[in-house]
Amino acid sequence: IFTHIEQAAADPILGLNDAFKADTRKTKVNLGVGVYKDDAGQTPILNVVKRAEAKLLEIEKSKNYLGIEGVQQFNHAVQTLLFGDNAEVIAQKRAVTVQAPGGTGALRIGSEFILRHTQSRTIWVSNPTWANHQNIFTTVGLEVKTYGYYNEGTHGLDFDAFLADLQHANAGDLVLLHGCCHNPTGIDLDDEQWQIIADLCLEKELIPFFDFAYQGFGRGIEDDAQGLRIVAAKVPELIVANSFSKNFGLYNERIGALTLVAENSDVAACSYSQIKRVIRANYSNPPAHGALIVSTILSDAELNLQWQQELAEMRIRIAQMRELFVETLMAEGVKQDFSFIKQQMGMFSFSGLNIEQVQQLREQFAIYIVGSGRISVAGMTTSNIPVICKAIAQVQ
């Protein structure tokens, strides 16, 4: 029965990670997967997470099941982070949130809910987008279409193509939007462009589906939510998949959330009950630890402040690495103009390096970046940047 099964292709991001681990060259550098490293090349546990865990160890009395929706205090805290302290959607009870196993789990639960309970069958994603989006949505049974996003010539946003392509979308179609720190390009919309997208969704009755995995890595926790808040103020129905892998450094705890906003509280409550059924059929109910860490931190003023400081440190270090990367490339005499990298937001840089250059970097220099030319700037350090830039100079 199993004999006909063929070997699957390696995952473009996590498969690269495996190849990196298996590489025995001492000088190897991993700029593939989006994981934050400090300047010593480590992915540390945030101090505030350690403090919250110590607190939990003391007060936790039971490992009894959570409800299907997860830790309720966590779910409330998520809504405040997404929509702000005094958000209307929260006061009107139009938003419902369930805990999810990471951003990927939230995307999966959200799209499965859409497929089972609505007529929507199509989701529009940016070209390019995170390599796993297509995989998640087609596995569930949605048709994936793409809208233009990136202008190769300017290394900037192609907003005209974005709008032109969405003209072909039909009422009820989903539009996947990266809340901030677009993965892989690092190019975000400004407030005016968010307003235009909100108007377009409203006019054409499209459902915004936010993938919001990097809150706090662009301009700050509140500023990064601006696009979502602009859209939520105009569009009555939307979905948000958010993740705490990056901004709390909780990668292996798999902690994220799915939030649905409906036009009124009754519709929200019915949707919530059906989302819980989807979860029950997938994994019954979620694990507790990651959600308890996040809610412990967010509900304590002192811990919350410490989290914001540690998050700011990560954000600032990445911005410094962008500057240093561009300067060092110039110092190495690289002719290609890479100054656009300084404008990009978040962990990634869409470098413009082509697939041959990416392969050469890996084969000759043990430098791992994603095939699309996406570089994880969060993996750069003051000591590996000279090595990386010398290698790029040689593959020019």
Six-digit token string for 294: 């996040």
Tokens 């796993």 identify what position? 132
List the catalytic residue out of 158, 173, 211, 224: 211
Task: Determine how many CB atoms are found less than 10 A away from the CB of residue 171.
Answer: 11
Query: Nearest residue to ligand LMR, using CB?
Result: 34
Measured in whole angstroms, the distance separating CA 184 from the mean position of its chain's CA atoms is 10
Positive or negative, the CA dihedral 57, 62, 67, 68 is positive
Using the minimum distance from each CB to ligand LMR, give the nearer residue, 140 or 377.
377
* Contact (Cβ atoms closer than 8 angstroms) between residue 333 and residue 388: no
Residue 11 bears catalytic tag: no
Region at 384 (left for phi over 0; alpha for psi -120 to 50; beta for the rest):
alpha
Name which of 337, 342, 340, 338 is nearest 322 in CA terms: 342
CA distances from 146 to 142, 206, 268 (A): 13, 14, 29
Q: How far is the CB of 211 from ligand LMR (least distance, A)?
A: 10
Using the minimum distance from each CB to ligand LMR, give the nearer residue, 34 or 70.
34
Using the minimum distance from each CB to ligand LMR, give the nearer residue, 33 or 198.
33
Q: How far is the CB of 130 from ligand LMR (least distance, A)?
A: 5
Per CB under 6 A, residues contacting ligand LMR are 13, 33-34, 130, 132, 183
Using the minimum distance from each CB to ligand LMR, give the nearer residue, 94 or 178.
178
Using the minimum distance from each CB to ligand LMR, give the nearer residue, 245 or 306.
245
List the catalytic residue out of 124, 130, 194, 307: 130
* Contact (Cβ atoms closer than 8 angstroms) between residue 32 and residue 367: no
Helix (H, G, I), strand (E, B) or coil at 35: coil
**Which residues partner with 188 through β-bridges?**
none
Residue 246 bears catalytic tag: yes
Region at 66 (left for phi over 0; alpha for psi -120 to 50; beta for the rest):
beta
Using the minimum distance from each CB to ligand LMR, give the nearer residue, 13 or 49.
13
Helix (H, G, I), strand (E, B) or coil at 123: strand
φ, ψ for residue 135, nearest 5 deg: -60, -50
User: How many CA atoms lie less than 13 Å away from 81 in the CB half-sphere?
Assistant: 33
39 Cβ partners below 8 Å, 6+ apart?
A: 317, 381, 382, 383
Using the minimum distance from each CB to ligand LMR, give the nearer residue, 46 or 261.
46
Helix (H, G, I), strand (E, B) or coil at 357: helix
Q: What angle do CA 38, 288, 75 make, to 5 degrees?
A: 90
Q: How far is the CB of 52 from ligand LMR (least distance, A)?
A: 23
* Contact (Cβ atoms closer than 8 angstroms) between residue 260 and residue 239: yes
List the catalytic residue out of 37, 124, 158, 246: 246
Six-digit token string for 145: 């279409």
Using the minimum distance from each CB to ligand LMR, give the nearer residue, 34 or 249.
34
Residue 211 bears catalytic tag: yes
Q: What is the end-to-end Cα distance of the chain in Å, rounded?
A: 49
Active centre residues (catalytic): 130, 211, 246
